[in-house]
Structure 1
Amino acid sequence: VYLQTILCFAPAFLLNNILLAFVRNDNGPRLSMTAMLVSSFSNIILDYIFMFPLSMGIFGAAFATGLSPVISIAILLLHFKGRNQGFHLMRCKLEIRRLGRIMALGFSSLIGELASAISLLTFNLIILGISGNIGVAAYGIIANIALVATSVFTGTAQGLQPLASRCYGQGEREGVGRLSGYAVKTAVFFAVAIYAVICIFAPAIASIFNSEGNRRLSELAVEGMRIYFAGYFFAGISIVATALLSATAHVNKAMAIALCRSCVILVPCVFLLSRLFKMTGVWLSFVVAEGLVFVLTVVFLVRFRRR
């Protein structure tokens, strides 16, 4: 029921992501942020209304989530009523070359979004064979928190993208360099802050998802969080670097980082380390994989700044 309902809103999810990028790049970052905030809080409120007062069950939860991008689109359309917008609809011929270039520039972002799905599937299958349902539940806790952490770095990357694109297009190499420096420092700051919170509050976070008080689940989740989230010291910079390279037309480098993060390095690391160290190896695999990708990222960034 949930999947069928959500898929009915798939066009709205796609259009919302496109409009968010257009409005943000067209000097409308505040409106983009407003649309995101209003739609997100609407989702939370409508979840409660549909599931409890209206007793719509799982369909209500899915319907509330599906309405979220619709609300966001309604807000974003206000941008196109103004007189100062640069982007607008017009008749044009379909240019295959231009379409291909657009798709190539966005491919690294596509791979980045797929990375979470690939890692989620791989981790679940391997953990199921090692620790069963309790292990999968522990990873579920970590995956939920990791989604929030990844969103922080993704937001930093999206904020960097239009600024870096403009500087690069205008030939302001120093401006691109400064922006990349700010972005990397911001990523490091967030990585330290997130890891500090995880180390201090890991037991409390685990208990939120462990209403039955299962001791084994708590132990696995706490150990996993403290190991797994160390990988964000590397992952945060890689996510930001991917956006920077894409925004400055270094498509191949951005794509290489995204592919390595999603499967080329991560999947072999999970299989190898899980065999050697069981559950500890599973948590370590994310750190090791992101560390190896980080080395590649540093090489690309050094070459980028020298050019």
Structure 2
Amino acid sequence: MTTINPIETRPLKPLFLSYLFPAMIGMLLMSVNILVDGIFVSHGVGPSALAGVNIAVPIFSILLSISLWIGMGGATLYSISLGEGNKQRAHQLFTLAFTTMLMVVITIIGLLAFNLKEISYIFGASDVTFPYVQQYLHVILLFGVFYTIENLLSIFIRNDGNPRLAMLGLITTSVLNIILNYVFIFVLNYGVTGCALATAIATIIGTSVLCLHFSRPQSELKFVPSFFNLSDLRKIFAIGLPSFIVEASVAVIVILYNVTFLHYLGANGVTAYAMVNYIHTVLLTIFLGIGMALQPLVSYHHGARLIERLVALLKIGLATAFILGLTTALIAMLFPSQLMALFGDSSFEIRSMAAQGFIHFAIGYVFLGINMVLAEFFQSIEKIRIATTIMLLRSIILFIPTLILLPKFLGPQAIWWTFPVAEGITACLIYWYIKKNPRTISTSEML
């Protein structure tokens, strides 16, 4: 007798909400770790140290991008296999994704560690900030593999029907990171090194909490000895590519912004952007959380060929993203000074520059959520070309020329408009494409 999974029959709105809140809180707390680092470093070490840690963030993002690439690719196939009722393939996909990620991450960490100074200067470090970049990254690279394991496990645990534990693991990491940051920076005076140690130790303990899922009787996350399949490996990398672009482009965007602000507004501009970027990093992961909640449900329904419920899930996701985007933009416009005051040790000039810039920057959130949800949806139903195109448009194809042209023709303050312009044009292009190809979202056919 075949048992019907409750996912197939449960009302969609409560089902989506049961995944949405743990996913959003989990992603928010993961990004809060970076924000907490910035706040503690700013208050406990100084503005130059804050700029140094911000320069190091893209390298941190590279490791996260790998775990998202392989994790989302593997987890999407994993949920599709469960929807098809093929549990043995699901076990093989989990083992393959976990093993592949470890091999790739360890290789990248080795390359970064042996070329740390050269890479830091390419990413915008100066003689003033490099010591802080070096102190932070020495620790982060040493323990970076745990950060990627935590992220991959949280993705698969969410896809295995346990979003609350995925959230609990990230809550543990976040709370411990706050406590340890205070101890290492303000009590022990370890400076930027203490900030990195706090992140590393908290992540290891958070990962241990996630491992409790393996003792769950209904868990389908199992390591199997026979798992390697070249075709599956190619699919993992192909399906996970949009997630990789999201996170990898964060590194590219931060580097390009740093270079542009340095050129037009000097060191104060870079520090002002660092303040805005810490807030943006938190907000970006909240929108990623909507996609993270949508992905397991969409992939399962795609595998089970429940098309009407799948399209209804997309509509729920888009409505959620738009409301959240509009609310976020309004809050940012109404209270920019209060948000920038979190970084209290900066000068009035820098805080004022950041607050004024954030008012313009925040308009992009109205479009960001829609773009992220649509990309996640297409990725989850294996329409990789559309999902990849959306991510490339908003982060590379439209972003780079906009960043170059706006300040050149409209002045330095127009740098802040790059994000809303790139996101807005991307949303318009997606809308135009779907209007011309309505079957794109009403069928799960592969492209």
Normalization by structure 1: what TM-score?
0.95
Please state how far the C-alpha of 1:136 moved relative to its aligned partner. Answer: 1.4
Find 2:163's aligned residue among 15, 29, 46.
Answer: 29
C-alpha RMSD of matched pairs (Å): 1.5
User: 1:120 — aligned with what?
Assistant: 254
In 2, Cα distance between equivalents of 1:80 and 1:212 = 46
In 2, Cα distance between equivalents of 1:306 and 1:208 = 45
> Taking every aligned residue pair, what percent have the same amino acid on both sides?
29
Structure 2 residue 289 is matched with structure 1 residue 155 = yes
What is the one-letter code of the residue matched to 1:100?
R
In 1, Cα distance between equivalents of 2:400 and 2:234 = 29
Find 1:55's aligned residue among 189, 193, 209.
Answer: 189
Higher RCO (CA 8 Å, separation ≥ 6 residues)? 2
What is the one-letter code of the residue matched to 1:148?
V
8 Å CA contact 1:47, 1:64 repeated in 2 = yes
Please state how far the C-alpha of 1:212 moved relative to its aligned partner. Answer: 4.9
8 Å CA contact 1:253, 1:300 repeated in 2 = no
Deviations 1:112-143 (A, max 9, x none): 00121111111111111111111112211211
In 1, Cα distance between equivalents of 2:414 and 2:346 = 27
Structure 2 residue 382 is matched with structure 1 residue 249 = yes
User: 1:87 — aligned with what?
Assistant: 221
Find 2:210's aligned residue among 76, 93, 103.
Answer: 76
Deviations 1:268-299 (A, max 9, x none): 11001110112222111211111111123324
8 Å CA contact 1:184, 1:237 repeated in 2 = yes
Structure 2 residue 370 is matched with structure 1 residue 234 = no
User: 2:357 — aligned with what?
Assistant: 224
User: Cα–Cα, structure 1 residues 212 and 103, in superposed 2: closer, same or farther, change >3 Å?
Assistant: closer
Where structure 2 has 5 or more consecutive residues not aligned to the other structure, the ranges are 1-134
Find 2:266's aligned residue among 128, 132, 138.
Answer: 132
In 2, Cα distance between equivalents of 1:180 and 1:254 = 14
Structure 2 residue 320 is matched with structure 1 residue 186 = yes
- Secondary structure at the aligned position of 2:218 is classed as coil
User: 1:102 — aligned with what?
Assistant: 236
Where structure 1 has 5 or more consecutive residues not aligned to the other structure, the ranges are none
User: Cα–Cα, structure 1 residues 84 and 130, in superposed 2: closer, same or farther, change >3 Å?
Assistant: same
Deviations 1:135-187 (A, max 9, x none): 11221121111111111101111011101111111111111111111111111
In 2, Cα distance between equivalents of 1:89 and 1:159 = 24
What is the one-letter code of the residue matched to 2:408?
R
- Secondary structure at the aligned position of 2:262 is classed as helix
In 2, Cα distance between equivalents of 1:8 and 1:219 = 37
- Secondary structure at the aligned position of 2:228 is classed as coil
Please state how far the C-alpha of 1:49 moved relative to its aligned partner. Answer: 1.8
Find 1:66's aligned residue among 172, 175, 200.
Answer: 200
Q: Tell me the matched-pair count.
A: 306
Please state how far the C-alpha of 1:72 moved relative to its aligned partner. Answer: 1.8
Please state how far the C-alpha of 1:97 moved relative to its aligned partner. Answer: 1.1
Find 1:277's aligned residue among 389, 400, 410.
Answer: 410
In 2, Cα distance between equivalents of 1:15 and 1:170 = 29
- Secondary structure at the aligned position of 2:220 is classed as coil
In 1, Cα distance between equivalents of 2:368 and 2:149 = 28
Please state how far the C-alpha of 1:54 moved relative to its aligned partner. Answer: 3.2
Structure 2 residue 399 is matched with structure 1 residue 286 = no
User: Cα–Cα, structure 1 residues 284 and 53, in superposed 2: closer, same or farther, change >3 Å?
Assistant: closer
What is the one-letter code of the residue matched to 2:367?
F
Moved more, 271-280 or 292-301: 292-301
Normalization by structure 2: what TM-score?
0.66
